[in-house]
Structure 1
Amino acid sequence: MNNTNPEPSEFTFSFLCSLFRQISRIKPRSLNAPRIKRDEEPPAVKLFTQWVTHLRNRFGPLSPGTTGICFRLIFPEEDHKRKYDMKESRLSEMLASCYGFSKAKFAQWDHSDASGCLGQELRSILEQTNTNDDDFISPKTIYQVDDLLNELSACCAYTDASIIKLYPKNGRRKRKDIMRDLFCEMRPDDAAWLAQIILKDLRPLLYPLEEMHFTVSLKFFNTKAVAMLSKGQAMRIWDPSKTMQNACRVFSDLDRAADIFDTPPDQRPKLVPVIGTMVESTKAQKCINVLSLLKASRKIWAEIKYDGERAQIHVELRDGRPPHITIFSKSKRDSTLDRHFVHDIIREALGFTDGSSSGRIKENVILDAEMVAFNGDKIDEFWRIRQLIETTAYGIRGKIRRRTVDANFESQPSMLSDDGCDTRQLGLVFFDVLSMGSSSKLFTPYHERRQTLESIIHPIPGKALLAERFPIVMSDISEAQESLRTIFAEQVADHQEGLVIKADESRYNDYKLPWVKLKKDYIPGHGDSIDMVLVGASWEKNRARELRVGPDTYTTFYIGSFKDKFAPKPELEVFYTASYGLTRDKLEELNFMIHSAETVSYPFSKRNEPKNYTFSLLKGLNPPSVLLQEPLLVELFGAGFTKFPGSKHYELRFPRIQKWFRPSERNWRNALDLRSLHDLARQVVGRDRSNKDADDAINDIWGDPRSPGVKCPLKRQEAASRWAEQFRWLDEGKKGSLTEPDPPTPSKRPRATSIVNASTTVTIRAPPRPKLQMEIERREQGLVSSSSAANSQGAVLDVINRALTPTSPTRRLGLTSIQTPISALRPPPSNHHQLLDNSKSSNQTPFSHERYPGPPTPSSSPVAAQPLKLTYHRQEKANPCTENLTMKGGATSYFAHFHVWFMKSKNKPSQSCETCRPLRKMVLTDRKVHSLNSLVLACGWEQAPPGAYVNKGAIIALCGDDDMIEKVQALAQNIQSLPSKNASERKPIFIFNCKSFDSGGTTPIPIFKLH
């Protein structure tokens, strides 16, 4: 018997795959299974421990480089240097060529009846043709496989330069030849693992699904069904001395950490940042309970979070030459050539001007910054960065800008018409320093690092800035809370992305005092919210593997908007997708809905196209699997707006589905059209409306004042005041608090409610009111405004909501942004009539309630500050409102020139009222409208397309009682508060209740006249 240790060459790839096979046999735990004890190690960790022990017992001391190879193969997603430029479609073609199969065998790997894993499909095919014995072991070692993977990755231009240099282009082999060598003599299951390593995702093979049906996967399992082996756990077991873990806290390079571990202990280098090797970047936590997380700090800083791309900048001084610049991106890739344009900006900010070799620094430095797009001296939108990189980068991301003449593209106001190319360029916002010379700053307090940064960086307007920040002293927690609310409100009103909160004494990557990221969409119900059309669905592998569901489950939904909603077949533009937001139960309901609905497979033939609409799909967007014959209305929320490369239209950033509606609840035709979406997005991102310049020019001609822009100081101040007040109310109510711990999660999600201000909308949490919600939902089926009036539609819908629920916060419907002028910019009308016999309404807002108090309406609110042109009439007295109103021929003829909306009472059904029942039948069907929205639009109180001629509008409140009277009063107030450019075009709206017809005369007596 040979007692000598095997040579390292005997460490085969099959031996590594034996670990994968053992882990893949772990059974997923259902929701009903007993929980694993906290002190009990997960099964995958136990198996890895046993495998490492067996590895070292069998092979003895491992040769240098083995650690790095093992970790690159076990965690291929952490292998940032090697890129293969192959996804499933391209890899399947290469595998078909390699094995001599038809590529059609792999074509359905992601179909609903398949596994959704290309490696699994490859294994199934190879097992049918495999002629080797079951105990056959492939002779390839992990070292040979690693070398071949290096050679394969050298064919991709995105691979790290250190690997590409090993394989000169003139002597480089073709991909298909390398692939044949890689997969030659591989067992079927080993080939499957290797395919998934190339795809950089072992999850579908390592942690296979127990069930494939969408209902079982979503309702009986969750993402914790298996405890996956993490990189940190593997390093702890591989290296009990924690050398690798400590190295990974400094370096973001797994290979370097492995090399340090393989180095003899007495020869290991100090763990300090090194020029040319990326430092592990600190990541801010997502949290809204900022002060509770940083309560141990004496002082914190609220730093503006700039909307850009992270850049870690390494500056290496060279004798007699300008400094050498190396830049790493957030994805840990060397992006030096991509960001070539900012090299001179970095040198200039450090004092190296005109090619000088001397500046403010005398030793190498590593800086942390955000690369942004500047337009003049102002920071532009995030999506502009991509355009600027493509036009300025060297290397693979650089390309010649094509100046195409596309009339439709040029006509989009959001695009080239206001492009400002001459003043737009890339720039930097510096916010930290990580190293100076041989001295590491990673363990230096934040306030000292900031002082160092300010001493070496010279701000350059429009090119380089220091991140703006604001101090908050923590000695008095109530003052700290108020300071944070005020600062955050000001930045939200200024259209900034958010804040990053840093403790004054915190270290870089400090787990005790971490950086905390605060954005408005982290607060429940406060993201930017819109109603869009859900047109189609598909299974998307990355989201599916996060959820642990098979191809039978729709995970990604295709979102569109109307080009022309009034065409016989509305034309939809589908230009982005949403995959997040829904709970597993809600996602299962949506999947059941789509599986049960009438759908069309995509791509479709002319004989099998959608019946109710036409659509176009954005080029570059992965196609859907199915299209709905009857689309759905969905409510989305996100963090501002951006644009997909090549798209003309704004889309939500980080879109999440908040709710979807069945056709019986809300019709998909009530969604936004593209023009309304465009106007809303511009307002949210801080850009003036498209035609403001033209309007201002006309106003200049006629000597009229210009309308205030989005960046108007008064508007900004107004918005900041409202946001601060809203955050204060949240803190006091402990609902989504900024400074207090999260409240217990309710069993049912409360509905979201919107409070409107002059430049944006804040959404708050409202208590559920089931009966009222059902009544509101029944009223939502109303007239749809045209694209030119969609913003007005939002205002009208808001009025409807507030009027229907005058004693509680309202549910958000339709648009979330209303262009309401600021009271400070608009003088009040001279006439002001008070409500009679309603003393309570004068000091109550529609949001007030004893049990569920909402935020008080500020004195600057348009509703509070704008006097109402409103007259209340007692029913028993004759009044001027009845002039020209005569009931000739009964109610039918009386209301012949009215548009009539019947307002139902919550307390009394209309069938029980003898007056209401015949009245509804006597009004002609073509005179009735189905919603208050329709009535207000038809009467000219909001901009709308020309419609049928109408003299007046009528609201008939059925079954008048005390509760109904209060609702009618609130309704009248809110309708009257609607702004109008030309009040003379408004047609009067009369409000009646059923008692208005009890006088016995020929003329009903209205209780309100709105004019």
Structure 2
Amino acid sequence: MGFKFSFLCDLLSSLEANRIAKVTAADKDAPDIRSIGQWFSRHERHIHHPETDRLALLSCMFPEKRPDRVYWLQATSLARVIGRCLGLGSSRLSDMNRWRQPGGPDLGQCVENVMCQAENQICADREVSVEEIDQALDMIASRCRFSGPRVRRQQTAVDVESALAPLYRRMSSRDAKWLTRMILKSYSPVTIPEKYTLSRFHFLLPHLLQFQNTFEGALEMLSSEPMDKFPPRPDPKLSANLCSIALDYLRPRTGIKIGRPEYLKARSIRHCHQMAKGRRMSIERKYDGEYCQMHVDLTDKQSPIRIFSKSGKESTADRSAVIPVLKGSLRIGREGCRFTKYCILEGELLVWSDKLGGIADFHKLRKFLPRAGTLIGVEHDSPPQPYEHLMIVFFDILLLDDDICLRAPHRQRRLLLQEVVQKISGRADIAEQEILDFGRSDSQYRLEVSFAKAIAHRWEGYVLKASDEPYFPIYAAGVNNSFGRWIKLKKDYIPGLGDTVDLVLIGACYNAQDGTALTSLKHLRWTHFLVGCLLNKDAVLNCEARPHYRAVDVVNRHCMHWKLLELLNQVGEFHSSEPEGFEGFEVEYGQAGLPTATVILKKPFVVEMMGSGFEKPSGARYYTLRFPRILKIHTERSPEDAASFRELQLLAEDARSVPIDELSQEEEQWRKRLKVGNGLKGYIVQRSRSLSTESHSSTGSDSPGGSDTSMGDHKDGLQSMAMEMPAENSLSNANPEQILGGIEGTPAVFVDESRLSPRTSDMPYDSQVLAETQNSSNRRRFRHKDPSINDQNNGHISKESIQIPQGNTSAASFSGPQAVHQDDTRRNDESVNLPQTKNPSSLERPHQQINAPISPLTTIPVYMSGSPLEGDISSEPQDSSSLFLFLQALGCDKTKSLFKRSNPRAASQGALFGIALVNPGELPLGQLIHKIAKGLSRSLQDRKSTLPANGRIYFLDAVILRENIKPEGFEFCLRQTWRALGIKYYYACLRWKNNKSRDHGSAGPEPRPAQQGGNGQDVSDELSPSLFVSFDEDEILALGEYTSLDGPADPTTMSCTIA
């Protein structure tokens, strides 16, 4: 008889019923685990009965695990087939087609609703079995050319209706629902916990699927000796011993794909460093190609080479073009071949361009890799060029004759791979690799430098593999959860580092399968949204022409937080229209694969989207974000503020091109951003890139397109920690005029002594000197070599280097380098050549002496946090008060008065500047920005605050104190001076723009409604300031507003140029 399909439907129905219980359960998986355990206990005898086809049962239980079976049936075509199988009339067909309506149930539920109106009478001996279903699905899949070769060989003349009609007519309505979902390869909203379910089927099955990544191969191994004698669920005390015995008999087989290790995602450099757990690891370049697993069996004369794709489907015929390259690199049939029978390797298929001398874009693969013999999505691609050809990059070897390489540590597999593979220029290579010992004190810094270089070269990322661990953790006993797992490090995994751009959502449609998975959302009308760009942005802005949008992509529930999806449905309901007759704007579809919008959003949503780089979609002529995700909705922006189609293409070109001439600067910029990512964790989100000319800063910027980070839009993140500021009354009596000190011509410096380092004499010698600097960029090699180590050259900034008069708050001046750096020769080589200027007071005209500009270093408050000072460690923290006084100094009248003389243009716009000196060895850059941003945000929201409505705080490396700087020097009024200093010392710029009016007359924008961020919480209110972080070095040019001091000093009449 076999195993009844109704038994499996009992399990699926119980899991579906658990959805309510899972909402209130402390452990969300506990109800499902309990249901699965009870089901296996009830049916274990039937499952392992000799008449039960276990392959059929597992195939029905996990339909998505059968990539070799492709039915070529989507919901539309399947609905027609089911209607004919059941002989439905027009009214019942109409009921079944409710899955097409927005907010309607999925097709499976519609089938149940229709069939329950007249339930089939089923005899006990005629119930459908999983074996019958498996046979019918095999017959249907054999008709499709996209199915695997084994399935295709079983091709029969039966049609789909003839195969399915006997099943649907002998099923209950409930079972028919699950059969429909099975054919569509998704039991949604039910998800069966795979690992636990497989282990309940047989305790060895999850491990066997690693060696033979098909149910058929794993079950064959279970049926072999001695594993056929093992009980499916032994005593837990015996399972480890039985597993160890089974290992001696487990070996890969050519012709059956081997599984892949699990991997972890690194969310920052620090997170990656923590997951490495001090191990020695191989850092391999992650290539942007198509994974393939190559099996060579020289004993098989008919088909000695087989190639498997990532999904597990055999694709040898589609990848036959690389077989000659594979034979040549392995020296098959020639002297030097390192194996006589078997070999299994892993690699990545790429396109190499002889013209570029490097790897071509990912979309070029479409021209060389057909699907079932047909090139798909190439209608708008250029034909293959003579200088383009396929290339294989090998990165692992799993089997070599009788040597099971899976057991060997990665370093041995890598050496063996180098022996087996012969490199062929532009055709075959081995993945680029570097070794990093995470037990070293400077390992995090080295990883940071290396990853910044990878990003600058536009690599996809890194894959980290432990050098001393086998391919699968099953080969080692008593290991932790991270053992044997690879670590993937990509920039878009790190909050704030992905490619972002503002785009618009112009239309929407509903997918019943996705809608069923979101039953917790009430009144869900749309699940998919069309992403569009303006084609005629200039005409719309200048001539008020009718907007013309091009739909370039589509996003669904997997591309956004569920609260954003809910918000889009709630708000969009009031701004939607039927496409027919809508004349507000024109929409064209950029590619054939996009779904048709059932509604047009009359008021398009402006959304900030992030992706993993840019790609050219299948069948398209343009580039768009790869793996797009919506971060937030900008309710205050108009569609014209988003990137136009042309701007999107320019952004894509910029993101894809390697800046050869400015590579070192690019690497340094990414290093800075990686530091911020480490400090701010999940609270940092990169600003959308746009080519719009609108400035986000009240003082203007000479660097449009800079990559900024919006903090004001993440109020919940900035205020998640308690503010470490003193109580307002504790410092309320502080006199802002006293805060600046009484020494005119020197900067006000507020030193935070709460984070102090031990004395130099107390530190081990090896923690003061970094022996190697090969990974440092030439431009910044003299900088802090390791953020976690203070070396003898820059780690100890003594009190003598900052002249602090008596009192809690004081002015301080920059001193020469001798207090910090004792190597005068090296210091002279590394010093910045500052431009020489005349003292404006010596100019001939008398009015220049009256209004002569003064150095901004004598007017701008300076904050230093985490600076190591000589002497005993202070027992009383000064952190909070120092920051409080620094912020008060920014808003006091004397600062504003002096600032008008050093930076008249910025002062005329109601802005003020501050400087924060960074010592990463004591306090990471990200944490310092976070701390100041929190204090600034709180101060700006205080109605009594005297802070200006807009301004900037520049973060500079504290080693600038080593320069022989005279703060009163007039060269600091010049842009070129700050350009030279910025190259060496600039880290970031924190800009703010308050949304409430100030006393100085610079009225803020009108209060706007609260927005919702990606986590669904309110992220702004009417008094919330907007804070941005920019990493563009040109930001620092605003400190020097003059290009020459030879003209009159009055900013209203001067003939020289002011920045």
The answer on 1:79 being equivalent to 2:42 is no
Q: Tell me what 1:178 maps to.
A: 163
The answer to whether the 8 Å contact 1:719/1:758 transfers is: no
Q: Evaluate the alpha carbon distance shift between residue 975 and residue 312 of structure 1 in structure 2; reply closer, same or farther with a 3 A threshold.
A: same
Q: Tell me what 1:235 maps to.
A: 198
Gaps of 5+ in 2: 230-245, 474-481, 690-700, 719-749, 751-778, 781-832, 841-851, 863-912, 918-927, 934-952, 966-970, 978-991, 1007-1032
Q: Tell me what 2:17 maps to.
A: 25
The answer on 1:306 being equivalent to 2:287 is yes
Of 459, 481, 487, 2:423 maps to 459
Q: Tell me what 1:651 maps to.
A: 624
The answer to whether the 8 Å contact 1:285/1:514 transfers is: yes
Cα separation, 2, equivalents of 1:421 and 1:439 = 41
Secondary structure class of the residue paired with 1:97:
helix
1:118 maps to a residue whose letter is L
Cα separation, 2, equivalents of 1:470 and 1:670 = 44
Displacement of 1:85 in angstroms is 1.3
Q: Tell me what 1:517 maps to.
A: 488
The answer to whether the 8 Å contact 1:991/1:1009 transfers is: no
Cα separation, 1, equivalents of 2:517 and 2:108 = 18
Displacement of 1:588 in angstroms is 2.4
Of 143, 150, 164, 1:155 maps to 143
Displacement of 1:22 in angstroms is 3.5
Displacement of 1:447 in angstroms is 0.1
The answer to whether the 8 Å contact 1:251/1:278 transfers is: yes
Displacement of 1:290 in angstroms is 1.5
The answer on 1:502 being equivalent to 2:465 is yes
TM-score by length of 2: 0.64
Secondary structure class of the residue paired with 2:18:
coil
Cα separation, 2, equivalents of 1:55 and 1:729 = 55
Secondary structure class of the residue paired with 1:569:
coil
Q: Which moved more, 1:12-21 or 1:566-575?
A: 12-21
Cα separation, 2, equivalents of 1:846 and 1:655 = 37
Q: Deviations over 1:716-750 (max 9, x none)?
A: 1221122224334554xx333xxxxxxxx6xxx55
Percentage identity across aligned positions? 22
Gaps of 5+ in 1: 1-8, 208-227, 403-408, 410-414, 687-709, 737-744, 774-806, 808-821, 873-902, 921-928, 931-969, 993-1003
Cα separation, 2, equivalents of 1:582 and 1:181 = 42
Q: Tell me what 2:342 maps to.
A: 364
Cα separation, 2, equivalents of 1:530 and 1:306 = 24
The answer to whether the 8 Å contact 1:372/1:426 transfers is: yes
Cα separation, 2, equivalents of 1:291 and 1:618 = 42
Cα separation, 1, equivalents of 2:124 and 2:702 = 72
Displacement of 1:397 in angstroms is 3.6
Q: Give the alignment of 1:495-894 within 5 angstroms.
A: 495-510=458-473, 511-540=482-511, 543-544=514-515, 547-548=518-519, 552-565=524-537, 566-567=539-540, 568-579=545-556, 580=558, 582-595=560-573, 597-601=574-578, 604-605=579-580, 607=581, 609-616=582-589, 618-662=591-635, 665-686=636-657, 710-712=658-660, 714-728=661-675, 730-731=677-678, 734-736=679-681, 749=683, 752=686, 766=711, 836=854, 838-840=856-858, 848=916, 851-852=931-932, 856=955
Q: Tell me what 1:943 maps to.
A: none
The answer to whether the 8 Å contact 2:835/2:976 transfers is: no
Displacement of 1:264 in angstroms is 6.0
The answer on 1:381 being equivalent to 2:361 is yes
Cα separation, 1, equivalents of 2:132 and 2:1036 = 79
Q: Tell me what 1:789 maps to.
A: none
Cα separation, 1, equivalents of 2:993 and 2:168 = 73
Displacement of 1:20 in angstroms is 2.9
Secondary structure class of the residue paired with 1:279:
coil
1:636 maps to a residue whose letter is M
TM-score by length of 1: 0.67
Displacement of 1:907 in angstroms is 8.1
Q: Evaluate the alpha carbon distance shift between residue 447 and residue 626 of structure 1 in structure 2; reply closer, same or farther with a 3 A threshold.
A: same
Cα separation, 2, equivalents of 1:847 and 1:384 = 48
The answer to whether the 8 Å contact 1:322/1:357 transfers is: no
Cα separation, 2, equivalents of 1:973 and 1:560 = 35
1:493 maps to a residue whose letter is A
Q: Deviations over 1:834-861 (max 9, x none)?
A: 9525324789887748852888458999
Q: Tell me what 1:125 maps to.
A: 114
1:163 maps to a residue whose letter is V
The answer to whether the 8 Å contact 2:855/2:973 transfers is: no
The answer on 1:258 being equivalent to 2:219 is yes
Secondary structure class of the residue paired with 2:26:
coil
Cα separation, 2, equivalents of 1:162 and 1:649 = 38
2:610 maps to a residue whose letter is F
Cα separation, 1, equivalents of 2:399 and 2:520 = 44
Q: Give the alignment of 1:73-472 within 5 angstroms.
A: 73-101=60-88, 102=90, 104-115=94-105, 117-130=106-119, 132=121, 138-167=126-155, 171-204=156-189, 207=190, 228-239=191-202, 242-263=203-224, 265=226, 270-287=249-266, 288=268, 289-297=271-279, 299-318=280-299, 324-352=304-332, 359-376=337-354, 377-390=357-370, 395-398=372-375, 416=382, 421-472=385-436
Cα separation, 2, equivalents of 1:165 and 1:769 = 57
Cα separation, 1, equivalents of 2:464 and 2:703 = 28
Displacement of 1:21 in angstroms is 3.3
Displacement of 1:471 in angstroms is 1.4
Q: Deviations over 1:595-615 (max 9, x none)?
A: 2x22123xx32x2x1414544
Secondary structure class of the residue paired with 1:26:
helix
Q: Evaluate the alpha carbon distance shift between residue 265 and residue 905 of structure 1 in structure 2; reply closer, same or farther with a 3 A threshold.
A: closer
Cα separation, 2, equivalents of 1:593 and 1:716 = 45
Q: Deviations over 1:897-952 (max 9, x none)?
A: xxxxxx99988647x86xx99xx9xxxxxxxx99xxxxxxxxxxxxxxxxxxxxxx
Cα separation, 2, equivalents of 1:82 and 1:589 = 38
2:607 maps to a residue whose letter is V
RMSD over aligned CA atoms reads: 4.5
The answer to whether the 8 Å contact 2:298/2:342 transfers is: yes
Secondary structure class of the residue paired with 1:557:
strand
The answer on 1:52 being equivalent to 2:40 is yes
Secondary structure class of the residue paired with 1:1010:
coil
The answer to whether the 8 Å contact 2:345/2:397 transfers is: yes
Q: Tell me what 1:955 maps to.
A: none
Q: Evaluate the alpha carbon distance shift between residue 350 and residue 559 of structure 1 in structure 2; reply closer, same or farther with a 3 A threshold.
A: same
Displacement of 1:505 in angstroms is 0.5
Of 482, 486, 491, 2:454 maps to 491
Displacement of 1:762 in angstroms is 5.6
Cα separation, 1, equivalents of 2:406 and 2:637 = 54
1:386 maps to a residue whose letter is R
Cα separation, 1, equivalents of 2:668 and 2:702 = 10
The answer to whether the 8 Å contact 1:72/1:79 transfers is: yes
Displacement of 1:363 in angstroms is 3.0
Displacement of 1:538 in angstroms is 2.8
2:594 maps to a residue whose letter is L
Cα separation, 2, equivalents of 1:109 and 1:279 = 39
Q: Deviations over 1:841-884 (max 9, x none)?
A: 789887748852888458999xx9x9986799xxxxxxxxxxxx
Q: Deviations over 1:755-803 (max 9, x none)?
A: 99999966557477979x9xxxxxxxxxxxxxxxxxxxxxxxxxxxxxx
The answer to whether the 8 Å contact 2:684/2:709 transfers is: no
Q: Give the alignment of 1:823-972 within 5 angstroms.
A: 836=854, 838-840=856-858, 848=916, 851-852=931-932, 856=955, 909=998
Secondary structure class of the residue paired with 2:362:
coil
Cα separation, 1, equivalents of 2:714 and 2:136 = 64
Displacement of 1:193 in angstroms is 1.6
The answer to whether the 8 Å contact 1:338/1:389 transfers is: yes
